[in-house]
Amino acid sequence: MLEVLIFATLNGLVTGFLLFMLASGLTLIFSMMGVLNFAHASFYMLGAYFAYSLSLYFGFWTGLIFAPLIVGVLGALVERYGLRKVHQSGHVAELVFTFGLAFLIEEAVQFFWGRDTKNYQTPEILDFPLFTLLGQEFSAYRGFMMAISIGIFIALYYVLTKSRVGIIIQAAITHPQTVANLGHNVPLIFMGVFGVGTALAGVAGVIAGPVLTTFPGMAAVLGSIVFVIVVIGGLGSLAGAFIASLLIGLLQSYAIASDVGMPDLLDLLGLSFARDHPLNDLWTINLPQIAPVLPFLLLVLVLIFRPTGLLGKREE
Amino acid sequence: MTLLRKSSIWIVFVVALFGLPQIFDSILAISILNQMAIAIVFALSYNMLLGQGGMLSFGHAVYFGLGGFLSVHALILIEFETMVFSILWIPLIGGLFGLLAGIFIGSFSTRKAGTVFAMISLGMGELIAASSLIFSSFFGGEAGISGDRTFGPLFFGFDFAQNIEIYYLAAVWVFIATLFMYLFTQTPAGRMANAVRDNPERAEFIGYSARKVRFISFCAAGLFAGIAGGLFALNYEFITEENLNAATSGRVLLMAYIGGLGYFIGPIIGAVVLTLMNSLLSNYSELWMLYLGIMFLLTVMFLPRGFAGFIMMHQMAWVRGNMKMLVKPYIVTGIPALLFAVCVIVLIEMSHSDEETFHFLGMTLEPSSSITWIVLIAIAGAAFYAVRRSRAQLLDAWETANAAPKEEQS
Amino acid sequence: MAILSLKNVQKNFGITEIIRGVSLDIIEGEKHAIIGPNGAGKSTLFHLISGRYKLTAGSIRFKTEQIENKPPYEIARMGLARSFQVTNIFPRMNVFENVRCALFWSKGYRYSFWNLLGRQHELNDEAMQVLEQIGLCDKAMFPSGELAYAQQRALELGIAIASGAELIMLDEPVAGMSHSEAENAVELIRKITEGKTLIMVEHDMNIVFDVADRISVLVYGEIIATDKPADIRANPKVQEAYLGEVRSA
Amino acid sequence: MLKVNDLHAFYGKSHILQGVDFHVGEGEIVSLLGRNGVGRSTTVKTIMGEVAPQGSIEFKGQQIAGKKSFEIAHLGLGYVPENRDIFPSLTVRQNLVLGMKSNKPQGRWNIEEMFNMFPNLGERADVHGGALSGGEQQMLCMCRTLMGDPDMIMIDEPTEGLAPKIVEQLAALLQEIAKRGVAILLVEQKLSIALKISHRLYVMGHGKIVYEGTPDSLLLADAVKAEWLEV
Amino acid sequence: LGSILSFGGASQAQEPVRIAFMDPLSGTFASIGNSGLKILEFAADYLYNSRGGILGGRMIEIVSLDNKQSPNETQLQFRRAVSEGIQIIFQGNSSAVASTLSQTISRHNRRNPGQEVLQLNYAAVDPILTEENCSFWHFRFDAHANMKLNVLTDYIAQNPEIKKMYIIGQDYSFGQVVSDTSIALLKQKRPDIEIVGNEFHPIGQVKDFTPYVTKIVSSGADAVITGNFGADMVSLARSIIDSGLDIPIYTFYAAYDGITATLGEDGKDRIRLIHNEYANPVPTEERREFNRAFKAANPNNDVTQPRIVNALQMLVTAMEQSQSTDPYDLAIALEDMRFTTLSGEEVWMRADDHQIFQGLHVSVHTDEGIEFDGDNSGFGLFTEYNVPADETIVETSCQMTRPRR
Ligand SMILES: Nc1ncnc2c1ncn2[C@@H]1O[C@H](COP(=O)(O)OP(=O)(O)OP(=O)(O)O)[C@@H](O)[C@H]1O
Ligand SMILES: Nc1ncnc2c1ncn2[C@@H]1O[C@H](COP(=O)(O)OP(=O)(O)OP(=O)(O)O)[C@@H](O)[C@H]1O
Ligand SMILES: [Mg+2]
Ligand SMILES: [Mg+2]
């Protein structure tokens, strides 16, 4: 039992940190630039695929460096030649644009890399168990994932608090012209931020690719969960996103690990229903079954009782 | 006069609704028309939220789906004669349930608009989609549930076994729904919905609770989405989880947006266009999704107010009788644009297909020989350049065509 | 009998006290001006009365009811209309719609989704009359968001007065208007507040002194004087707190 | 400092500026007067690159027509817009910080000084800009521009919505600013302050400069006042 | 529009026999659908069109219809097929889709006599399709889940090392069938085997299988049964392998379309697969030639589902026998048909429920003795355990309603 708990926690943290890598980018793009970027997870997928191709020739580490760069540049280009034009016609326009983009990227990936799952492997160096606890291995690679994620958090946090980028973006969303009049090159900043955001998604892809398997559907799997995190964390709050990521990671992993469900509850209450009871489905639900939707439940609850999210200041 | 003009649009609408199946009577055509009918009601109902109420919803399929499920259950009840009434009223059942769902969810989700609303709708959408898989005794799991519409009392001897019969039934419902949704925009509630969309705070200072105004449009949207769901149930006689999941919600958003949120007919256009693309494109190319994606991007970038907006852009020119000014520039720009598109498509398709000869619009090309590629790319480049060059003139022509004639200017 | 009476109204934002116990009676039918230095709390006071902010302490009675805890829309329904210092209209709707929406509730349409507006002739006529008064008839079908600044101010005024409320509160109604426009606006204000009660905030002393029956001077969240214009002008406290030596430019 | 020659500007097809000529010297206070809608704001916006200019605009001997707004700002030209574009979601301090062109404070002004000059702002340093009173917003807007350490500022109707007392303070402040060698182009309707502080002034009518002179000369030119100014 | 809607069918002396292939050709599941399509098209050309066609010179034309593995799309595509006048539909992926299609077809055939449509199901293995919901118009050319599990559990039962079994599957009908049946069967055959886990996870929504694997490990299981397919299969297998757990994994779909390549070395001798037809070694020359020819034509694909070929061959046989392409005649001809496949094995289509019976095999994922590998990875399936057709026969509860003619 104990080791289940311990490993559930570890797994939860790993998932959480991974989610944060994605969320960090989206926090920049969605909660600061206000762009509902539905293609974010697609950039994550691109990261994985580029890294895969690079790793075939130059090995994993080259992929880790260059794949995010490529993705970032792509992102910047998208901002420059697409979003910027769309931006004037409002959030919904951006949303639909990124919808289309997500479509496009998924199809493009299938077009260039085919539809099969790709054999993208973790690097040899990290291919050993970091520690073995009660007969279970915890691979070094997962440790590495955590490290990177924490690194990103610290770096971003520093940049956003120490530099004025954060507030410039915030101001420029509503008053671009005024900010320009004060001598800031707004378009460049937006392009940069979007680039960095997508690059971060790329990093997440590079790192998640080997563990979560690299296949055309990998974006869809994470698609909306990232938004959930950013919103639960609270718009504009990096720390919020961080906490939310871990929260959701742990929530899901505990839910899966636990074997409790309605039946246990009913036993507790001393109730029991016939198998042909109309609500039989309800009486037989158990937590692992509904683990994947718990985040959305959390989302709805948070928004109902705390519309600004956990650490959110800004409310739109 | 204005009355005549207004009603004339409706007459056209009716004629279209009931005339089209006369012209396009193949089974496929009817099936497509049926899809359109459903999509139109659904998209219009979505626009009540987003276009008129300023509420961006990622979960609108929920009301469509629930309405549909209830309707199929109704069909089953009719089949086993637990209930006896004509299937004419099935859409109403769907609508009522959509309304109920709207009242329930709206009661807490319409408190705020903007991101909060959007995300609650996303969450609820996912939750309900997920639970629909869990409660398989009601929702029938991933295989869904199915009924049979041919039971129940006949309607003037029709048992609605054939899709064409269902289409006419649907057409009637579409007309009614559309009419009512239009009328809604002409009522105080409808107008206040716009006001709240624009400036909820101010609305409160002229006596209206923004939340309640939103709630009303939200419920109305639920009702009509449910009706659409009912029509779906009648048409396909079955329904599955995918009819209330995020993908469906996304599709209706795209329909409404591409069509043009700002205009009542926008969603109708969007519904028609997307349905057509969906059913025609998909069987000509494996890559149709790719093209669909590209089309979205281009539409959003170059027609920010959707197709309807694009049409409306010519209203002035039309009124002023300046349309002829536009003909030439449109041709000048249009032809190379078309050429460019074709070339690109051919290039994509060619690089995708692994046959050694490649047939397109009657021509035969060898993907193997590099000349083919060079030529195509060259043409594409030239065409693109031509478009870039002529675009300025087009815009200019358009400006002048829309500008007031000299004497009006002051 | 006072139509509106504030008793020891206070408002803090966090620790900063903005309104420090204002008590004020507005007599039915009077034109009451509130002046004071920037940041004195005039707009905040308006927000408190109209229900945009909740008070920290004190009570407000409008007509016969206590309104301190009511939401804005209920207060508005009781017949209290206000304008905003920062233009606050429905930008994507046309000018006519803006005004007509302001009329709905007072005309008893409430949330109705059954009467068609096309049919409500006297409502529409009334809206057009308001447009005439604020001189925006020619712009009736023009998207209000694209009006020039001064015209938007006029519309702001129009929305406030349309419903024909008994108590009208105007926050710097003529700010940003040119003299001629301002004069028209003042005329308009006079006309439509015939037999109604008016509270207004204004920095242009000429206007204040020729419109107001009584003037209250708000300084740092406290009312230091409420009196007839002449006496206010003479009041030394007011002069050093607000007017400075330029009596009236 | 600033030299504008035969400046034209359009909104869509409507010809707003129809050949504007004027100049502003080092450390000079110049007022641009005129009725509503004659195009004063447009003039300033055009100089700042918000509206596409046609004609010549020289700043510090450099042609700036057609440059991007932020480039112009970097050359040392500041602009205080008429509709108080403060950033509502940012605190007063952040608003000021945004005014600076580089992260480290430099030049003639620093935040503390500003707060001394406007105690209202000082007290509210950490309040959201949106919460400020109309007047405070106006002041904040000007301070923010000054934080960028411009050599010349263009102020569009700063006195709007200011209490008479504050207007006086403002006049004093403007003179103080000018003393520190910052040229000022003041766009106004209120004659009073303009006459009080400006060295020279222009009167604008229908997209052209219709009168140039000094305050004293303007006071005498009744015809001009009657036709182009409302007094 | 009407003209756009109709395909420009190649005009030959005799108009071709048009057969629809309806499976996901775009989207996430596309790879499976596409490989199936390639096999069918190749088989049609290689076996018939290149040899003068069927029914005295008529060509077979395969019309591909993309249903994106969605019941909705299936409906639309079905209507398209009907309006094309197509009367034979190959379909395989997802039992949900299969049953939707089956219902739709029965309904359609009942309402439109003379325009009947025939459904040839080559892969959807939910037993229900040939049990309660069996239909006269539906024929299944794959062994259904219970038959496969029956064999699989026999095989497991032979392995004395296995004491604790963990069952994990996608939370939908097939996954549930797998879990229920295997539990029941193991109880009969090896009462001593303890079921230490019976887990369901949502299809395609699991980001990371580690939490599940953690449970498997801590349950002390020494074998796993799963009905997962696609990415869920790969991720599950990889997580198990990564966690350093070395136990056999018994599967249905853990091969080809990238899976074999991805599992590669790590999966060697761990992954076992239950399937019909043959893997390696290949029994007959005919099949060997066929595979070679296919590989030559489609270097990047494998003959993943030989049963498609069988289905086509049996269909054509039925046509030749009845000298007709009318679904009713074909159905009658197919009933009770005994047919010898390219692998030299005689298969039997039972008339009562339209379920095929043929030998079943358990094969292991390895790179030894592999003649035809998967994904050109050098790895492939090597058959370890064979059960002849007659031993796979199970009763059916099907009460089929046969239309009058
Ligand atoms: N939400 C808030 N949080 C903190 N301080 C606030 C808030 N709202 C207003 N204030 C402060 O309260 C004071 C009064 O603001 P108010 O807008 O009432 O001034 P005012 O009298 O209208 O001045 P003006 O004539 O310039 O409009 C201002 O100093 C402002 O900064
Ligand atoms: N965005 C715009 N689109 C079209 N016309 C405009 C726009 N902005 C201003 N105008 C018109 O340009 C003319 C000059 O505007 P401008 O703002 O320069 O006037 P102004 O002299 O600043 O007067 P004030 O600032 O007192 O309103 C006005 O007639 C105005 O209607
Ligand atoms: Mg104020
Ligand atoms: Mg101006």
Residue-wise pLDDT tens digits, B37-74: 999 999 999 999 999 999 999 999 999 999 999 999 99
Q: At what angle do helices B163-185 and B2-23 cross, to 10 degrees?
A: 160
Instruction: Decide whether any atom of ligand 1 lies within 6 Å of the D135 Cβ.
Output: yes
Question: Which residue's CA is minimally distant from atom 6 of ligand 2?
Answer: D11
What pLDDT does residue C90 have?
94
Q: Does A3 touch chain B (CB under 8 A)?
A: no
Q: Of A77, A88, A107, A273, which to mutate for an interface test with B (greatest number of B Cβ within 10 Å)? A: A107
By the 10 Å C-beta count (0-12 exposed, 13-18 middle, 19+ buried), E55 is classed as middle
Q: Which two tokens stand for residue B306?
A: 């959707």
Instruction: Decide whether any atom of ligand 1 lies within 6 Å of the D200 Cβ.
Output: no
What pLDDT does residue A316 have?
44
From first CA to last CA, the distance across chain D in angstroms is: 31
CA of C76 to nearest chain B CA: how many angstroms apart?
5
**Residue B282 confidence (pLDDT) above 90:** no
Instruction: Decide whether any atom of ligand 2 lies within 6 Å of the D13 Cβ.
Output: no
| Tokens 């709707």 found at | C93
Of all residues in chain B, the one with the smallest CA distance to E205 is B130
For residue B256, name the pLDDT band (cuts at 50, 70, 90): very high
Nearest to E19 by CA among E311, E251, E340: E311
Report how far ligand 4's centroid is from the alpha carbon of A204 (Å). Answer: 50
CA dist E78 to E83, E86, E104, Å? Answer: 9, 9, 8
Contact, B95 vs B67, CB < 8 A? Answer: yes
With the most atoms of ligand 2 within 8 angstroms of its CB, the residue from D13, D15, D32, D36 to mutate is D36
Q: Does A104 touch chain E (CB under 8 A)?
A: no
What pLDDT does residue D185 have?
93
What pLDDT does residue A1 have?
67
Contact, A148 vs A207, CB < 8 A? Answer: yes
With contacts defined as CB-CB under 8 Å, which chain E residues touch A18?
207-208
pLDDT top residue among C108 and B355 = C108
In this complex, whether A and C touch, counting 3 or more CB pairs under 8 angstroms, is: no
With the most atoms of ligand 2 within 8 angstroms of its CB, the residue from D11, D15, D50, D202 to mutate is D11
pTM reported for the whole predicted model: 0.91
User: In the 8-state DSSP scheme, what is residue B50?
Assistant: I
Q: What is the mean pLDDT of chain C?
A: 88
What's the mean pLDDT in B242-266? 91
Instruction: Decide whether any atom of ligand 1 lies within 6 Å of the D127 Cβ.
Output: yes
Contact, A31 vs A261, CB < 8 A? Answer: no
Question: Which residue's CA is minimally distant from atom 28 of ligand 1?
Answer: C39
Q: Strand pairing partners for A133? A: A136
Phi, psi of C193 (to 5 degrees): -95, 10
In chain B, which among 137-176 make CB contacts under 8 A with chain A? 137-138
What pLDDT does residue E55 have?
84
Least confident interval from A19-23, B391-395, C36-40: B391-395
Strand order of the β-sheet with E346-349 is: E338-340, E346-349, E356-357
By the 10 Å C-beta count (0-12 exposed, 13-18 middle, 19+ buried), B61 is classed as buried
Please give the Cα distance from B311 to B323 (Å, whole number): 12
With contacts defined as CB-CB under 8 Å, which chain B residues touch A41?
none
Provide long-range contacts, Cβ within 8 A and 24+ apart, for A93-97.
A93/B257, A93/B300, A93/B304, A94/A35, A94/A36, A94/A37, A95/A36, A95/A38, A95/B56, A95/B253, A96/B253, A96/B254, A96/B257, A96/B258, A96/B296, A96/B300, A97/B296, A97/B297, A97/B300, A97/B301
Please give the Cα distance from B56 to B119 (Å, whole number): 9
Please give the Cα distance from E162 to E193 (Å, whole number): 7
How many CB contacts within 8 angstroms connect chain B with chain D? 3
> Which segments of chain D have a pLDDT < 50?
none
For residue C245, name the pLDDT band (cuts at 50, 70, 90): low
Contact E244 A137 (CB under 8 A): yes
What pLDDT does residue E10 have?
41
With the most atoms of ligand 1 within 8 angstroms of its CB, the residue from C19, C38, C45 to mutate is C38
CA dist A179 to A27, A183, B381, D85, D98, Å? Answer: 21, 7, 38, 9, 8
Q: Of E25, E207, E233, which to mutate for an interface test with A (greatest number of A Cβ within 10 Å)? A: E207
Mean pLDDT comparison of A211-215, B206-210, B336-340, C151-155, highest-scoring range: B206-210
How many CB contacts within 8 angstroms connect chain C with chain D? 83
Beta-carbon-side half-sphere exposure of residue D162 (alpha carbons within 13 Å) = 22
With the most atoms of ligand 2 within 8 angstroms of its CB, the residue from C178, C179, C181 to mutate is C178
What pLDDT does residue B295 have?
83
What pLDDT does residue E1 have?
39
Report how far ligand 2's centroid is from the alpha carbon of A81 (Å). Answer: 31
pLDDT top residue among B152 and E61 = E61
Instruction: Give B319-377 pLDDT, tens digit per residue.
Output: 777 777 788 888 888 888 888 888 888 888 777 776 666 666 667 777 677 787 888 88
What's the mean pLDDT in B149-163? 79
Please give the Cα distance from E223 to E226 (Å, whole number): 10
Instruction: Decide whether any atom of ligand 2 lies within 6 Å of the D180 Cβ.
Output: no
What pLDDT does residue C233 have?
85
CA dist A258 to A1, C170, E224, Å? Answer: 10, 62, 20
CA E22 to chain centre: 13
The residues placing their C-beta within 5 Å of ligand 3, an ion, are C 43, 85; D 133-134
Contact A181 D90 (CB under 8 A): no
**Residue E7 confidence (pLDDT) above 50:** no
Contact, B248 vs C141, CB < 8 A? Answer: no
Q: Strand pairing partners for D204? A: D34, D209
Instruction: Decide whether any atom of ligand 1 lies within 6 Å of the D157 Cβ.
Output: no
**Residue C247 confidence (pLDDT) above 50:** no
Question: Which residue's CA is minimally distant from atom 20 of ligand 2?
Answer: D37
Mean pLDDT comparison of B266-270, B303-307, E162-166, E199-203, highest-scoring range: B266-270
Nearest to E250 by CA among E357, E154, E388, E143: E154
Report how far ligand 2's centroid is from the alpha carbon of D36 (Å). Answer: 8
One-letter amino acid at B237 equals: E
What pLDDT does residue C53 have?
92
Q: Count of CB atoms within 10 A of residue B313's CB? A: 14
Of B137, B246, B305, the CB nearest to A278: B137
Q: Which two tokens stand for residue E229?
A: 């397919």
Q: What is the pLDDT along chain A (316 residues), one digit of tens a residue?
A: 677 788 889 889 999 999 999 999 998 888 778 888 889 999 999 999 999 999 989 988 999 999 999 999 999 999 999 988 888 888 888 888 888 898 889 888 888 888 778 888 888 888 787 887 777 778 888 889 999 999 999 999 888 888 888 888 888 888 888 899 888 898 998 999 999 999 999 999 999 888 888 888 888 888 788 889 999 998 888 899 999 999 999 998 898 888 787 788 888 888 777 777 777 777 778 888 888 889 999 999 999 988 888 887 654 4
Please give the Cα distance from D81 to D62 (Å, whole number): 23
Report how far ligand 3's centroid is from the alpha carbon of D99 (Å). Answer: 24
Report how far ligand 2's centroid is from the alpha carbon of C220 (Å). Answer: 36
Please give the Cα distance from A295 to A225 (Å, whole number): 7
Q: For chain C, where are the alpha helices, taking DSSP H only? A: 42-50, 72-77, 95-104, 121-133, 149-162, 179-192, 205-211, 229-234, 236-238
Contact E234 A292 (CB under 8 A): no
CA of A159 to nearest chain E CA: how many angstroms apart?
30
What pLDDT does residue B409 have?
36
- State the SS3 of chain E: CHHHHCCCCCCCCCCCEEEEEEECCCCCCHHHHHHHHHHHHHHHHHHHHHHCCECCCECEEEEEEECCCCHHHHHHHHHHHHHCCCCEEEECCCHHHHHHHHHHHHHHHHHCCCCCCEEEECCCCCHHHHCCCCCCCEEECCCCHHHHHHHHHHHHHCCCCCCEEEEEEECCHHHHHHHHHHHHHHHHHCCCCEEEEEEEECCCCCCCCHHHHHHHHHHCCCEEEECCCHHHHHHHHHHHHHCCCCCCEEECCCCCCCHHHHHHHHHCCCEEEEEECCCECCCCHHHHHHHHHHHHHCCCCCCCCHHHHHHHHHHHHHHHHHCCCCHHHHHHHHCCCEEECCCCCEEEECCCCCEEECCEEEEEEECCCCCCCCCCCCCEEEEEEEECHHHHCCCCCCCCCCCCC
Contact D161 C172 (CB under 8 A): yes
Percent of chain C with pLDDT over 70: 97
**Residue E176 confidence (pLDDT) above 60:** yes
With contacts defined as CB-CB under 8 Å, which chain E residues touch B287?
26
ipTM for the assembly: 0.90
Instruction: Give C79-105 pLDDT, tens digit per residue.
Output: 999 999 888 999 999 999 999 999 999
What's the mean pLDDT in C17-40? 91
**Residues E289, E291, E292, E297, Cα dihedral to 10°:** 120
CA of D131 to nearest chain B CA: how many angstroms apart?
15
CA dist D147 to A204, C182, D142, Å? Answer: 40, 34, 9
Contact C38 D230 (CB under 8 A): no
Report how far ligand 2's centroid is from the alpha carbon of D92 (Å). Answer: 29
Of all residues in chain B, the one with the smallest CA distance to D15 is B410
What pLDDT does residue B285 have?
66
Q: Count of CB atoms within 10 A of residue B370's CB? A: 9
Contact, B233 vs B34, CB < 8 A? Answer: no
Please give the Cα distance from D76 to D149 (Å, whole number): 7
Q: What is the mean pLDDT of chain E?
A: 87
**Residue E4 confidence (pLDDT) above 70:** no
Q: Does A211 touch chain E (CB under 8 A)?
A: yes
Contact D136 C38 (CB under 8 A): yes
Beta-carbon-side half-sphere exposure of residue B311 (alpha carbons within 13 Å) = 12
Please give the Cα distance from C202 to C218 (Å, whole number): 12
Instruction: Give C133-142 pLDDT, tens digit per residue.
Output: 888 889 889 8
With contacts defined as CB-CB under 8 Å, which chain C residues touch B189?
111-113
Please give the Cα distance from A193 to A133 (Å, whole number): 42
Please give the Cα distance from C156 to C89 (Å, whole number): 6
Q: Strand pairing partners for D200? A: D30
Percent of chain E with pLDDT over 70: 97
By the 10 Å C-beta count (0-12 exposed, 13-18 middle, 19+ buried), B409 is classed as exposed
With contacts defined as CB-CB under 8 Å, which chain B residues touch E26?
282, 286-289
Please give the Cα distance from E38 to E294 (Å, whole number): 9
A188: enclosing H helix or E strand: helix A186-212
**Residue C125 confidence (pLDDT) above 90:** yes
By the 10 Å C-beta count (0-12 exposed, 13-18 middle, 19+ buried), B109 is classed as buried
Instruction: Decide whether any atom of ligand 1 lies within 6 Å of the C12 Cβ.
Output: no
Q: Does A114 touch chain E (CB under 8 A)?
A: yes
Output b/e per residue, A94-115; b: 16+ Cβ within 10 A: bbbbbbbbbbbbbbbbbbebbb
